[in-house]
Amino acid sequence: MKTRSKIVSASAQSIDRSNAVKWGMISLALSTSLVISVFPPFEPIDYLFVWLSSTVGLVPEAFILLSDLLMLCAGVLLAYAVHIFLSVTRLSPGLAYYAAKLGEIGSRFKVDGRLSLVAAAMIVVYWHLPLSLNATILSYPLHLLMNEMILFAGVLMFIGGRRLTGRNRHFITILGCKAMGIFGVYLLVTSGYSRFYDVYPLVQQAQLGLLMVVSMFAFEAVFIPWWLYSYFTKPEPNMAG
């Protein structure tokens, strides 16, 4: 009987492991696809941009918003994939040694995952300040650096998110949407007299602001009910895994 339960347990572990690897592979593939879609030499996302601007008349700033969201998603997915692979793979002794050393450093400085959320927010805000964004539009290498940094912000978001409970994760996401919406309202209100980004015509500022507000409502229409549902139905765990 004992042997049988051992076999069942081993088989369950193997299924879990293969499931985890499967999801890791899917995340890695998605993340890689998103990165390839935005970075040269192919930039297939440009085909979508051309189609959207010729059919819907979407303003160019909206594409920056879209590519930022894609890069954040790519960063989160990449981090998730690497996390899964590190969790299910046995590290070689050399790598395990350095991982332990890094862990010691982390413990000594009491690295808090939530700090990485703040760092991610700072990266995203920095690259959207008028001075930075204007420079990134007029310099393609700088624009690529911006995309890379936003990808990194996505990684930091994943690291920080792991330290939060499920409910808090939803809450932080809603806060992020709110921040985007408030910025959108600012662009909308100031579009009559003050140009925020010099490289784009003033008339487009209102359209971008409106798009941000609409995006906020769209995201919140999903996340707020989800948050409320988990708040009233699921018990809050101490720490999310």
Q: Which residues in this chain contact other proteins in the complex, by CB under 8 A?
A: 42-43, 46-47, 49-50, 53-54, 59-60, 63, 78-79, 82-83, 86-87, 95, 98-100, 102-103, 105-107, 111, 113, 136-141, 143-145, 148-149, 151-152, 155, 159, 162, 199-201, 204, 241
**Minimum CB separation from other proteins for residue 232, in Å?**
28
Long-range contacts from 57-66, C-beta under 8 angstroms, 24+ separation? 59/200, 59/204, 59/207, 59/208, 59/211, 60/200, 60/204, 61/197, 61/200, 61/204, 61/205, 61/207, 61/208, 62/207, 62/208, 62/211, 64/133, 65/208, 65/211, 65/212, 65/215
Nearest distance from residue 73's CB to other proteins, in Å? 15
Sequential DSSP letters for 52-65? HHHHT---HHHHHH
Q: Which is nearer to other proteins, 201 or 225 (CB)?
A: 201
Nearer to other proteins, 161 or 184 (CB): 161
Buried b / exposed e across 92-110, counting CB within 10 Å, b at 16+?
eeeeeeeeeeeeeeeeeee
Q: State which residue, 159 or 174, has the beta carbon closest to other proteins.
A: 159
- Residue number, 71 or 174, with CB nearest to other proteins: 71
The C-alpha atoms of residue 10 and residue 17 are separated, in whole angstroms, by: 10
User: Least distance (Å) from other proteins to the CB of residue 171?
Assistant: 22
Least gap, CB of 156 to other proteins (angstroms): 8
- Cα–Cα dist 71/146, whole Å: 10
Q: How far is the CB of 206 from other proteins (least distance, A)?
A: 13
As to burial, measured by CB atoms within 10 angstroms (0-12 exposed, 13-18 middle, 19+ buried), residue 144 is middle
Closest CB to other proteins among residues 163, 167: 163
Minimum distance, C-beta of residue 155 to other proteins, in the bound complex (Å) = 5
Q: Which CB, 18 or 87, lies closer to other proteins?
A: 87
CA distance 84 to 24: 6
